[in-house]
Amino acid sequence: MPLQLDSSLASLAVASPNHGERLDPVSPALLILHYTGMPDGALALARLSDPASQVSCHYLVDEDGRIVQMVPETRRAWHAGQANWEGMADINSRSIGIEIVNPGHEWGYRDFPAAQMTAVKALCRDIVSRHGIRPYHVLGHSDIAPLRKTDPGERFDWAGLAGEGVGLHVPPAAIQGGRFFSAGEAGQPIEALQAMFSLYGYGIEVTGIYDTLTEAVVTAFQRHFRQARVDGVCDASTIETLRSLILAKQAMM
């Protein structure tokens, strides 16, 4: 059966065989954004439609703004992998995934073209409107899989997306001096820090040790919410930005 377009914004249907039944039949609650991380869009499209790759997405947005639908929104696309958010582990069953053509950090990470970002914003608005996805449930792949992923990365215009009514964003606190936490530290302040990240939704345990996962979560948070410096060090700017986001999220719940 031909792939039916769920969004009127999609200009092309290229069916991927890589999908299955949603294990949670409730309407998708999360919107996950990725970059393709390949040299060009043609290679990405080929991989996402190759049964041997075992990966797919619902939509692919090319650099010129063309939107391709690859998996019906009713189906479970294979885009998130092993991931976690707010205690939810089967992210694929609870989400819609958008792949955005960009070579990524491995192949020459660059800014996302204006035409592409315009298309991404429009598609995201359409999806969150139809499915009632909350702003704090619009996430990057690195948010839900911080140990494995870096996309869509610190060059992605999260602030501009939020300006279109998609996603939660607050002005990042200014980077200044003062106390900071980094790998190897331990104690009650680290417990409090981990508890704050968990409260916002990140899949992190409160261990009291600034371990590899904690550093990865801080880095992922910075890529999304404090893009001016991405170093995995939890400084005052990162903590203040996190506090503001928690308060903004709680005000919406």
Q: Which residues are catalytic?
A: 99
Q: Which of 221, 225, 167 is nearest to 194 (CA)?
A: 221
DSSP, collapsed to helix, strand or coil, labels residue 32 as: strand
Look at the chain and count its residues: 253
Cis peptide before 39 (omega within 30 of 0): no
CA distances from 111 to 108, 116, 135, 154, 159 (A): 10, 10, 23, 9, 14
218 CB-near residues (< 8 Å, 6+ apart): 197, 232, 233, 234, 238
